[in-house]
Amino acid sequence: MRKAIIPAAGLGTRFLPATKAMPKEMLPLIDRPAIQYVVEEAVRAGLTDIVMITGRNKRALEDHFDREPFLEQSLANKGDLSKLAAVQKSSMLADIHYLRQGDPLGLGHAVLKARKHIGNEPFAVLLGDDLLDEQDEILNEMADVQRLTGGSVVALMEVHPSEISAYGCADATQTAGKHLRIKGLVEKPNPSTAPSNLAVIGRYVLHPRIFDILAETPPGRGGEIQLTDALQTLAVAEGPGSGVYGVVFRGRRFDTGDKLSYLKAIFTLALEHVDLGPGIREWLDESLLPVP
């Protein structure tokens, strides 16, 4: 597997007005925008041919992964080599192609846009606002399950039952291996009727048969073409490329499109940061002292 789609064309309404003129994927986490962590994760998994799905107000994404000769020259002239390397790194990470979604008609619609670029091979999808622990290698694990089963694979995470209504939810059974077989998927179910507390998170390894199904999938919840609905069809289909499987992610995950989760991501990264860690820890200790 060499190719990945990174959908980043959503409107980011949960972060308005900050995202009125700026993509939410460019919100910084310490000194890198959220999207760079996602691209770096794809590259670590060997996915160096990336299609980013963008839309209006998303030009900053393209600029971030492009060369900036004037800035680079200026840093070189000053001898600021570490900043120069940091600036150049983002433009050298991968071969990134950009496609505009037009109207943001849903995640399924965004994925379908990349059909011609992907062709007839399995590929990964990484949501541009989902941040996973850098130590975790879930994409490699998912690619192994895809090779083994010939189907499609989603990343799952156990959430508190009350939180399942914010996610796609999987009805799954254990297989002989470490992965699960998915019988059904429901987008944002009511907690009282949810089939499990296994939430679908923003990493997928898909068989290209998903494109035929997406092309036929009508708008679902919220009037959007849902990737979850297409996966549900694939889960109960027969023949080559059918079947959906799950790998449970047990590491740390943040949804950087959600304000609280974004703040938690910043504090977590800051506490672990070699330069910032001691300062932020000291400040937190002082701030959290009980008021006398």
Question: Sign (positive/negative) of CA torsion 103, 187, 206, 218?
Answer: negative
CB of 53 to ligand UTP, least distance (A): 5
Q: Which two tokens stand for residue 112?
A: 């379908």
Least separation in angstroms between CB 275 and ligand UTP: 30
Size of the site for ligand UTP (CB under 6 A): 20
Give yes or no for residue 110 binding ligand UTP (CB under 6 A). yes
CB of 26 to ligand UTP, least distance (A): 12
CB of 285 to ligand UTP, least distance (A): 33
User: Looking only at residues 23 through 82 of this chain, which bind ligand UTP when binding is defined by CB under 6 A?
Assistant: 53
CB nearer ligand UTP, residue 57 or residue 175: 57
- Does the footprint of ligand UTP cover residue 241 (CB under 6 A)? no
State the binding string over 122-141 for ligand UTP (x if CB under 6 A, else -). -----xxx------------
Q: Is 4 in the site for ligand UTP (CB under 6 A)?
A: no
Distance of closest approach, residue 228 Cβ to ligand UTP, in angstroms: 11
Q: Hey, which bits of 197-256 come out as E strands?
A: 198-206, 244-248, 253-255
Burial (0-12, 13-18, 19+ Cβ within 10 Å), 175 = middle
Closest CA to 254 of 157, 172, 148, 189: 157
29, 37 in Cβ contact below 8 A?
A: yes
Select 113 or 179, whichever has its Cβ closest to ligand UTP: 113
21 binds ligand UTP (CB under 6 A): no
Q: Does 14 bind ligand UTP (CB under 6 A)?
A: yes
Q: Which of 108, 236, 220, 107 is nearest to 171 (CA)?
A: 236
Q: Considering Cα of 206, then 207, then 208, then 214, what sign does the dihedral take?
A: negative
In 120-256, the DSSP E strands lie at: 123-126, 130-132, 152-158, 168-174, 180-187, 198-206, 244-248, 253-255
Give residues in contact with ligand UTP (CB under 6 A).
7-14, 53, 101, 104-107, 109-110, 127-129, 257
